[in-house]
């Protein structure tokens, strides 16, 4: 019996070559393609996969699953890798891996395969996710070990087997796109001292060409789930995110340019576009600042965003750590009901208003007007006690002549 493999398939040149290469090595290849909001026509995928040699091709719409079960938990953790990257590509890998394992079981395959290179993070994410779900499945990564030493050799191979190679001038970028954002690397971006050429950005308008009028947008959350935009309710989260992507992109919002630390030890210059995600991050952070007490908010900010981002980036989605952090952020999310108003203007996103039935803001305490209900004498004694350690320290230093 032939060895059966489920291959994560994008429909592009690389994964099409993989179909043929695996077939030649004696595997029976079934391709798997998920719609995670990459904005590409997927109806031609089965035909492409089969003409490259696949015996069958599975295409699935996972946009809502991706939005609800992957993007929203990451939003609720306010997770940004190295403080900047909202993890779009990193988040889709565990979901795709989970579906590969599902179909491997259903179709009796002992192998799954992906098209990631040996230099990137995606290989780690795919393989750790597969192993966490079924350690007996073997993962194949042809790109890491095949014989092609140049792009030309791959193109020759593709032509030999009638795999269509786009005739247009080859795009210099490597692009990964989904609902949560676009990541762009390679080509002219590899010199981190140079500004990205304008054709590098895929979905956002150059901020200098964005409308002169700001766009206000109001996002309503119910228990940590964004449910409406400008009063219009969305029953599917992915549609709301898509709408925010469109609005944000129009205003040049969501561009990120960074040098990041990959898992394999390389520093890499990458650019990202994530208008919807970044608008939601600003909004959600602000809502939490309104509804959480100081102790809980500070604990959350210190302990969760960085740790959550690292675990997603490092391929640790299917761990008790992620589940435990989700339990933490879901507890906070129960309070996160309310409305946040934001202003989008030539690349910037600014929160300009917020309200919530769970708001802890007390105007009588905050105000400097005659409505003031704060006991200012209490401030005197509070400051005295809070500052006591510094008074003691100051005395000692003064005695030693070290004060000024
Ligand atoms: N550097 C980003 C990450 O590791 C983006 C990776 C995008 N993947 C790709 N094959 N282009 O999450």
- Return the CATH fold of 3-62+82-173: Rossmann fold (3.40.50)
Nearest-atom number in ligand 1 for the CA of 313 is 12
For 101-105, what is the mean pLDDT? 98
pLDDT band at 157 (very low <50, low <70, confident <90, very high): very high
pTM of the model: 0.96
Q: Which helix (DSSP H) or strand (DSSP E) does residue 396 occupy? A: helix 388-399
**Cβ–ligand 1 contact at 270 (below 6 Å):** yes
pLDDT band at 169 (very low <50, low <70, confident <90, very high): low
Q: What is the pLDDT of residue 403?
A: 77
Among this protein's residues, is 122 annotated catalytic? yes
Q: Considering only CA atoms, which residue is closest to atom 8 of ligand 1?
A: 176
**Cβ–ligand 1 contact at 8 (below 6 Å):** no
Residue 52 DSSP SS3: helix
Report the CATH architecture of 176-355.
Answer: Alpha-Beta Complex (3.90)
For 91-112, what is the mean pLDDT? 98
Which one from 76, 92, 122, 125 is the annotated catalytic residue? 122
Q: What is the pLDDT of residue 172?
A: 87
Residue 86 CA to residue 65 CA, distance in Å, equals 18
Q: What is the pLDDT of residue 164?
A: 83
Closest C-alpha to 14, from 41, 52, 61, 69: 52
Residue 204 CA to residue 346 CA, distance in Å, equals 11
Q: Considering only CA atoms, which residue is closest to atom 1 of ligand 1?
A: 270
Give 272 Cα–ligand 1 centroid separation in angstroms: 10
**Cβ–ligand 1 contact at 5 (below 6 Å):** no
Residue 376 has pLDDT above 90, yes or no: yes
**Cβ–ligand 1 contact at 15 (below 6 Å):** no
Task: Report phi then psi at 343, rounded to 5.
Answer: -115, 125
Q: What is the pLDDT of residue 167?
A: 54
Of 219-223, 320-324, 398-402, the range with the lowest mean pLDDT is 398-402
Of 11-25, 177-191, 326-340, 390-404, the range with the lowest mean pLDDT is 390-404
Give 228 Cα–ligand 1 centroid separation in angstroms: 30
For 95-112, what is the mean pLDDT? 98
Nearest-atom number in ligand 1 for the CA of 270 is 1
Residue with tokens 């590409």: 40
Closest C-alpha to 273, from 89, 123, 97: 89
pLDDT band at 151 (very low <50, low <70, confident <90, very high): confident
Residue 180 CA to residue 245 CA, distance in Å, equals 9
Q: What is the pLDDT of residue 2?
A: 85
Residue 314 CA to residue 324 CA, distance in Å, equals 17
Average pLDDT over the chain reads 96
Give 344 Cα–ligand 1 centroid separation in angstroms: 27
Among this protein's residues, is 14 annotated catalytic? yes
For 55-62, what is the mean pLDDT? 98
- Residue 231: DSSP 8-state: T
For 368-384, what is the mean pLDDT? 95
**Cβ–ligand 1 contact at 122 (below 6 Å):** yes
For 385-394, what is the mean pLDDT? 97
Q: What is the pLDDT of residue 50?
A: 96
Which one from 51, 69, 174, 218 is the annotated catalytic residue? 174
Q: What is the pLDDT of residue 171?
A: 76
For 244-270, what is the mean pLDDT? 98
**Cβ–ligand 1 contact at 174 (below 6 Å):** yes
């Amino acid at each position: 019996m032939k060895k059966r493999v489920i291959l994560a398939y994008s429909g592009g040149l690389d994964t099409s070559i993989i179909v043929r290469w695996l077939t030649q090595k004696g595997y029976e290849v079934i391709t798997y393609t998920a719609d995670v909001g990459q904005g590409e026509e997927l109806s031609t995928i089965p035909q492409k996969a089969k003409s490259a040699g696949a015996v069958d091709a599975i295409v699935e719409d996972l946009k809502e699953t991706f939005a609800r079960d992957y993007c929203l938990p990451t939003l609720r953790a306010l997770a940004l890798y190295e403080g900047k990257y909202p993890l779009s590509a990193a988040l889709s890998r565990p979901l795709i891996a989970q579906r590969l394992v599902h179909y491997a079981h259903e179709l009796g395959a002992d192998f799954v395969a992906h098209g990631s290179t040996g230099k990137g993070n995606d290989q780690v994410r795919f393989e750790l996710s597969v192993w966490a779900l079924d350690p007996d499945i073997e993962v194949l990564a042809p790109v890491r070990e095949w014989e092609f030493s140049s792009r030309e050799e791959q193109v020759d191979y593709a032509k030999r087997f009638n795999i269509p190679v786009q005739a247009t001038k080859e795009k210099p970028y490597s692009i990964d796109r989904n609902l949560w954002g676009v990541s762009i690397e390679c080509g002219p971006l590899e010199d981190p001292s140079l500004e990205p050429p304008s054709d590098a950005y895929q979905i956002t308008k150059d901020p200098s060409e964005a409308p002169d009028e700001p766009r206000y947008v109001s996002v309503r959350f119910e228990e940590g789930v964004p449910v409406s935009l400008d009063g219009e309710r969305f029953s599917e989260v992915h549609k709301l995110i898509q709408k925010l992507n469109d609005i944000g992109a129009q205003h040049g919002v969501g561009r990120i340019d960074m040098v990041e630390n990959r898992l394999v030890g390389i520093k890499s210059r990458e650019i990202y576009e994530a208008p919807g995600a970044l608008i939601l991050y600003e909004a959600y952070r602000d809502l939490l600042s309104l509804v959480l007490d100081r102790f809980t908010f500070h604990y959350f900010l210190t302990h969760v965003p960085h740790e959550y981002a690292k675990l997603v980036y490092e391929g640790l989605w299917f761990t008790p750590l992620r589940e435990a952090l989700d339990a933490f952020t879901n507890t906070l999310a129960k309070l996160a009901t309310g409305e946040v108003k934001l202003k989008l203007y030539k690349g910037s996103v600014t929160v300009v208003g917020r309200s919530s039935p769970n708001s802890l803001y007390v105007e009588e305490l905050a105000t400097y007007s005659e409505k003031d209900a704060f006991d200012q004498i209490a401030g005197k004694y509070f400051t005295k006690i809070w500052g006591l350690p510094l008074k003691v320290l100051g005395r000692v230093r003064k005695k030693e002549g070290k004060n000024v």
